[in-house]
């Protein structure tokens, strides 16, 4: 992997980890909606479908109690954790 590919992969990893952190640390419906919305903005140029998932989470944050939306958020974070692990293995290769 050349330096340019490494830097692109690192930038993508940073988007993933910032998304995970925002979703994971949201302690209220408002915080979750704001975190999902901010993350969706970062994902738009990278993966519009995933950005839509994040916007759906934002919408659901206001229509569902936090304890009901939390399992969805945890599933998304788990998916992102797997992506980070895959990226880390590529970066270490």
Q: What is the CA radius of gyration of the chain?
A: 14
Look up the domain containing 33 and give its range: 3-92
39 within 8 A of 23, measured Cβ to Cβ? yes
Name the 3-class secondary structure at 35: helix
7: tokens are: 């830097």
Q: Each residue of 38-52: pLDDT tens digit?
A: 999 999 999 999 999
Q: Each residue of 14-67: pLDDT tens digit?
A: 999 999 999 999 999 999 999 999 999 999 999 999 999 999 999 999 999 999
36 within 8 A of 54, measured Cβ to Cβ? yes
pTM of the model: 0.91
Q: How many domains does the chain have?
A: 1
């Amino acid at each position: 992997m050349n330096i340019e590919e490494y830097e692109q992969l690192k930038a993508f990893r940073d988007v993933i980890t910032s998304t995970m952190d925002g979703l994971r640390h949201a302690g209220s419906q408002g915080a979750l909606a704001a975190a999902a919305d901010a993350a969706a903005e970062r994902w738009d140029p990278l993966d519009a479908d995933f950005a839509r998932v994040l916007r759906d989470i934002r919408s659901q944050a206001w229509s569902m109690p936090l304890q009901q939306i939390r399992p969805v958020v945890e599933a998304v974070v788990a998916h992102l954790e797997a992506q980070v692990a895959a990226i880390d293995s590529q970066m270490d290769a």
